[in-house]
Amino acid sequence: MKELIKKVVETYGPAGNEGRIRELIQKEIAPFVDEMRVDALGNLIALKRGNGSKKLMLAAHMDEIGVMVTHIDKHGFLRFYPVGGLSPLTMLGNRVVFENGTIGVIGAEKLEAQKDLTLNKLFIDIGANSKEEAAAKVGLGDVAAMAREFADLGPRLIAKAMDDRIACAILIEALRAVKQPAYDIYAVFTTQEEVGLRGARVAAYGITPDLGIAVDVTRTGDTPESATMDVSLGKGPTVKIRDSSLICTPAVRKFMEGVAAQNGIQYQLEVLEAGGTDAGAIQLTKGGIPAGVMSIPCRYIHTASEMVDYEDVLNGVKLLTHIMETEFMG
């Protein structure tokens, strides 16, 4: 599975520009799904028919964070605006890459004090000497993603865009592995999660599932002097209780815990103080939809080096596969 993970994390696909990653995922899942379509917001909606009468919507977002060019100055430097949540601290000195392969470095204006570092004091240097030279390679509105290769440390994996490509990989593997789906499964590789759960919102409206489960990453509390968080790498995928976009439907949480326990899969409970997921949009669709989240613990979220535990990922595939094969009675 590491091959697949490497492919998906390294593919270009910031919010609003998910074409390439969508193409890749389409190729991967075509052999084992019954139907696929792309909706008005670019969501990839795959249907795998099953034995039950209920609809299960699974969501993993394809989009990653990025930076959009808003100005090209006369010396060829680019000004940008964030696409999704970015901290200037994690951008400084980083490399970014545009869809056409152009690479840039993020530099900063002179600062009086380090605490004055804000996103509007940063710029991208693509090595051009003039506005014309720069404009030949990038245009206003072009978006760059982080440029960083996948690293396999054995038990731990590091890459940019583990949020949320690791979930895409998990969903792909679960679709491959599932033998007896207990639902008609709508596996949705969503768009524009990072800018407001937008893809999931319209996809859920179109599908109107009986149950919705998002797969995403979550923070951990297992690094030095970290904020309080009772989730750690290596202790299994999590069953989410709450984040800032939803309070998971208690019946769904119980259901997911039940599936994990029945199948001997180690899992953790998760309360995330700040941060949202596609499930927040799914839960409030139409007359309301029972919703929950399975998260993969991840350190250094929204940096170029997000770290996950490989066993957690494999257990995540197992848990998701069993969920697909167990009917939710709630």
Partner 1 sequence: MLLKRLSEAFGPSGCEGDVRNVLLEELSPHVSEWRRDALGNLIAVKPHAKSPRVMLAAHMDECGLMVSSFDRSGLLRFRKVGGLDDRVLISKHVVIGPKKINGIIGAKAIHLQKPEERSQVIPLSGLYIDIGAKSKEDAEKLVKIGDYAVFATEFKPLSETVVSGKSFDNRAGCAILAEILKEDFAVDLFGAFTVQEEIGLRGAGVAAYGIDPDLAIVLEGTTCHDLPPSKEHGYCTTLGGGPAITVMDASVICDKGMIAELLRLAKEHNIPIQFKRSITGGSDGGRINQSREGVPVVVISVPCRYIHSPVSMLSLCDFNHTLHLVRLFLNSIAEGGFTI
Partner 2 sequence: MDSRDFLKTMVEATGVSGHEAPVAALIKEAFLAIADDVRIDVMGNVVAQKKGEGEGDISIMLAAHMDEIGLMVTKIDERGFLKFIAIGGIDQRTLVAQEVKVHGNKELIGIIGMKPPHLMSPEETQTAVKMQDMVIDLGLSCAEVQQSVSIGDVVTINRQFIPLAGDFVAAKAMDDRAAVAVLGECLQELKRIRHHADVYAVATVQEEVSLGGALVSTYRLRPHIGIAIDVCHGDMPGVPEQDTAPLGKGPNIALGANIHPKLYERLLEVAKEHNIPFTLDPIPGASGTDAWAMQVTRAGVPTALVSLPLRYMHTSVETLSMADVKSTGRLLAYFIASVDKSFVEGLLCY
Catalytic residue numbers, as ranges: 193
**Rule CB under 8 A: is residue 16 a binding residue for partner 1?**
yes
The span from the CA of 147 to the CA of 163, in Å, is: 14
**Rule CB under 8 A: is residue 20 a binding residue for partner 1?**
no
Q: What does 229 interact with, of partner 1, partner 2, none (CB < 5 to 8 A by kind)?
A: partner 2
Stretch that binds partner 2, among 27-35, 50-58, 109-117, 279-287 (CB under 8 A): 279-287
**Rule CB under 8 A: is residue 286 a binding residue for partner 2?**
yes
| 134-153 positions binding partner 1, by CB under 8 A | 140-141
| 49-108 positions binding partner 1, by CB under 8 A | 68, 70-71, 73, 79, 81, 83
In angstroms, what is the minimal distance from the CB of 245 to partner 2? 8
Report the 3 state secondary structure along 163-178.
HHHHHHHHHHHHHHHC
**Rule CB under 8 A: is residue 192 a binding residue for partner 1?**
yes
Question: Which residues fall within 8 angstroms of residue 139, CB to CB, at 6 or more apart?
Answer: 69
CA distance from start to end of the chain: 33
**Rule CB under 8 A: is residue 314 a binding residue for partner 2?**
no
Residues 294, 255: contact at Cβ < 8 Å? no
The span from the CA of 86 to the CA of 88, in Å, is: 6
| Nearer residue to partner 1 within complex by CB, 220 or 277 | 277
- From 206, 234, 258, 275, residue interacting with partner 1 (rule: CB under 8 A): 206
**Rule CB under 8 A: is residue 195 a binding residue for partner 1?**
yes
The span from the CA of 68 to the CA of 79, in Å, is: 8
**Rule CB under 8 A: is residue 279 a binding residue for partner 2?**
no
- CA angle (330, 280, 181) in 5-degree steps: 45
Residues 150, 158: contact at Cβ < 8 Å? yes
- From 50, 84, 199, 290, residue interacting with partner 2 (rule: CB under 8 A): 290
| 218-247 positions binding partner 2, by CB under 8 A | 221, 227-230, 241-242, 246-247
**Rule CB under 8 A: is residue 289 a binding residue for partner 2?**
yes
In angstroms, what is the minimal distance from the CB of 249 to partner 2? 8
The alpha carbon of 143 is separated from its chain's Cα centroid by a whole number of angstroms, namely: 17
Residue ranges of E strands in 31-125: 35-38, 44-48, 55-61, 66-72, 77-83, 95-98, 103-108, 122-125
**Rule CB under 8 A: is residue 32 a binding residue for partner 1?**
no
In angstroms, what is the minimal distance from the CB of 266 to partner 2? 16
Question: Which residues fall within 8 angstroms of residue 261, CB to CB, at 6 or more apart?
Answer: none
Judged by CB under 8 A, the number of residues near partner 2 is 24
**Rule CB under 8 A: is residue 292 a binding residue for partner 2?**
no
Nearest to 160 by CA among 259, 273, 304: 304
Question: Which residues fall within 8 angstroms of residue 127, CB to CB, at 6 or more apart?
Answer: 104
- Residues lying near partner 1 in the complex (CB under 8 A) are found at 15-16, 39-41, 68, 70-71, 73, 79, 81, 83, 140-141, 192, 195-196, 198, 201-203, 205-206
